[in-house]
């Protein structure tokens, strides 16, 4: 494969020195997206003309000494559920065929303002519902480390694009691990910010109390730059925190001395977890301990109920959110309907895939009369208990260190016939969404030639701290520099 892009700071230096131009970077990204990106099914649409025009504008600004930000002129990919004005926003679903967004999401508007160049829309699980990108109407994305394996999901296309060095950065969304799990499978860094740190305006909703847009890159430092650019209060989003944009990049000191790192017992005693994964995570913890961090064991006693609670709450919210896709206002409209009810039924039956239908049915069931208290209300009580578990744990430590996933990337088709087994891929990630915590996954080694993810979780609002720990580990190791050889 071609040489890696390099870090954001390296790309900035190359642009500033005239060693390269934004047009050259964008052309390279588009060529790789049309080549290796097509083999991986990483994209559902490229924006060739728009991207090259934006690159020329960035080069003109640089020549005039008017650089907007560290991202000015750099290529990136955007997940297909984050809308862009004038572009299709399909969420990898047939039900949104033909829909073109009339506006930019807040995250995209901020990136455009920073001068970043979007080269295309990345593949994903339909409406972000999945852990393998196999639920996409465009077909599954593939893992650059082994194209016969899943890149994870639901942000599989965004993650594969970064791992294959098609782009140095990408945006994904994380509802129950949809950034962190594919980051672990593909050997890159992916972050779910504190809930409310990044505006959800223009992110097509799956589960509104859980969804969060976040960055993907090869390093924590690069993700920090991207996070800083898209964070900050947005009056268009009622759940947006009334806080200014983050400045996490300046907090990456490389120093972890004095930090107390908690190791949750339950996360290291999970039945079925790959021993090789746990061994690499423990080795990473020991490496940080050698640099002056203190390791302590903590308990998260209700974590065993997290997956069940998540799949009740998330599906309930999905049932409500996806009711808007009715074949009337936008997207796919069934032909020859005999009545309005027939139009609804046929449009939704034709437009939604099997996993989305499964979750809508489950969510409608748990919200229905007679079952609301038995299921949905109990799940919300578990959510409160999980949040209290984290509060108690963080009273004695600064961050938690865990595996991101219980195993390395599984083969495509391996789990599609068993939804429960697929759902358990998120066993280490869903709790952070339920509690609104910031979390980052970063590579910590290879097990039988496949990447293993290390997860760092922090208290709400401590986004800078989790990135600081991730960055410090990457300064000590070179796992994030590894690239998949099978694409060569």
- Residues 458, 213: Cα–Cα separation, whole Å: 17
**Can you state the angle between helices 220-230 and 8-17, rounded to 10 degrees?**
80
State the catalytic residue, choosing from 105, 150, 154, 347.
154
- Residues 11, 32: Cα–Cα separation, whole Å: 17
Task: Identify whether 305 is preceded by a cis peptide bond (ω within 30 of 0).
Answer: no
Clarify whether 415 is annotated catalytic: no
Q: Alpha helix (H) ranges present in 115-155?
A: none
Query: Using an 8 Å Cβ cutoff, are 153 and 124 in contact?
Result: yes
User: CB under 8 Å to 279, separation ≥6 — which residues?
Assistant: none
- Residues 436, 423: Cα–Cα separation, whole Å: 20
Query: Using an 8 Å Cβ cutoff, are 220 and 252 in contact?
Result: yes
Clarify whether 178 is annotated catalytic: yes
- Residues 10, 16: Cα–Cα separation, whole Å: 10
DSSP-assigned letters across all residues of 9-39: HHHHHHHHHTSS-HHHHHHHHHHHHHTHHHH
Q: Rounded to 5, what percent of the chain is helix, strand, coil?
A: 45, 15, 40
Q: What are phi and psi of 113, to 5 degrees?
A: -65, -30
Angle in degrees, CA 308, 310, 316, rounded to 5: 105
Clarify whether 257 is annotated catalytic: no
User: CB under 8 Å to 485, separation ≥6 — which residues?
Assistant: none
Q: Strands (DSSP E) along 126-274, which ranges?
A: 169-173, 189-192, 213-217, 260-264
Query: Using an 8 Å Cβ cutoff, are 171 and 78 in contact?
Result: yes
Strand 169-173 to strand 213-217: parallel, antiparallel, or no bridges (unpaired)? antiparallel
State the catalytic residue, choosing from 22, 41, 79, 173.
79
State the catalytic residue, choosing from 178, 199, 303, 441.
178
Active-site amino acid positions: 79, 154, 178
């Amino acid at each position: 494969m071609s040489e890696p892009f390099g870090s954001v700071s390296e790309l900035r230096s190359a642009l500033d020195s005239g060693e390269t131009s934004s047009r050259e970077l964008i052309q390279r990204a588009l060529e790789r997206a049309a080549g290796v990106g097509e083999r991986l099914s990483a994209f559902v649409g490229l924006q060739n003309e728009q991207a090259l025009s934006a690159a020329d504008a960035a080069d003109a600004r640089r020549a005039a000494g008017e650089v907007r930000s560290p991202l000015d002129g750099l290529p990136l990919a955007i997940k297909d559920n984050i809308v862009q004005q004038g572009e299709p926003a399909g969420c990898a679903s047939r039900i949104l065929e033909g829909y073109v967004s009339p506006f930019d999401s807040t995250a995209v508007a901020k990136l455009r303002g920073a001068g970043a160049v979007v080269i295309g829309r990345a593949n994903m699980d339909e409406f972000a519902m999945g852990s393998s990108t196999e639920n996409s109407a465009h077909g599954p994305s593939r893992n650059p480390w082994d194209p016969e394996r899943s890149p994870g999901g639901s942000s599989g296309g965004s993650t594969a694009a970064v791992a294959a060095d098609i782009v140095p950065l990408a945006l994904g969304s994380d509802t129950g691990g949809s950034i962190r799990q594919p980051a672990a499978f593909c050997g890159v860094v992916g972050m779910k910010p504190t809930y409310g740190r990044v505006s959800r305006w223009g992110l097509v909703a799956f589960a509104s109390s859980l969804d969060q847009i976040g960055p993907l890159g090869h390093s924590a430092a690069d993700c920090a730059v991207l996070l800083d650019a898209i964070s900050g209060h947005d009056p268009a989003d009622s759940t947006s925190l009334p806080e200014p944009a983050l400045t996490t990049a300046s907090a990456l000191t490389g120093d972890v001395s004095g930090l107390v790192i908690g190791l949750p017992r339950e996360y290291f005693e999970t039945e079925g977890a790959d021993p090789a994964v746990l061994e690499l995570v423990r080795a990473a913890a020991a490496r940080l301990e050698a640099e002056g961090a203190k390791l302590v064991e903590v308990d998260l006693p209700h974590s065993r109920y997290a997956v069940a609670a998540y799949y009740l709450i998330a599906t309930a919210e999905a049932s409500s959110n996806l009711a808007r896709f009715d074949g009337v206002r936008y997207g796919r409209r069934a032909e020859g309907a005999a009545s309005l009810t027939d139009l609804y039924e046929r449009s939704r039956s034709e437009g939604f895939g099997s996993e989305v239908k499964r979750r809508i049915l489950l969510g409608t069931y748990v919200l229905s009369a007679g079952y609301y208290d038995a299921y949905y209300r109990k799940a919300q009580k578990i959510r409160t208990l999980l949040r209290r578990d984290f509060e108690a744990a963080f009273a004695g430590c600064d961050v938690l260190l865990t595996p991101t996933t219980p195993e390395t990337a599984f083969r495509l088709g391996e789990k599609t016939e068993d939804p429960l087994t697929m759902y358990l891929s998120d066993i280490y990630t869903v709790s952070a969404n339920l509690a609104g915590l910031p979390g980052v996954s970063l590579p910590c080694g290879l097990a039988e030639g496949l990447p293993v993810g290390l997860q760092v979780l922090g208290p709400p609002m401590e986004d800078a701290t989790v990135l600081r720990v991730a960055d410090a580990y990457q300064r000590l190791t070179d796992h994030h520099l590894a690239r998949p050889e099978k694409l060569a």
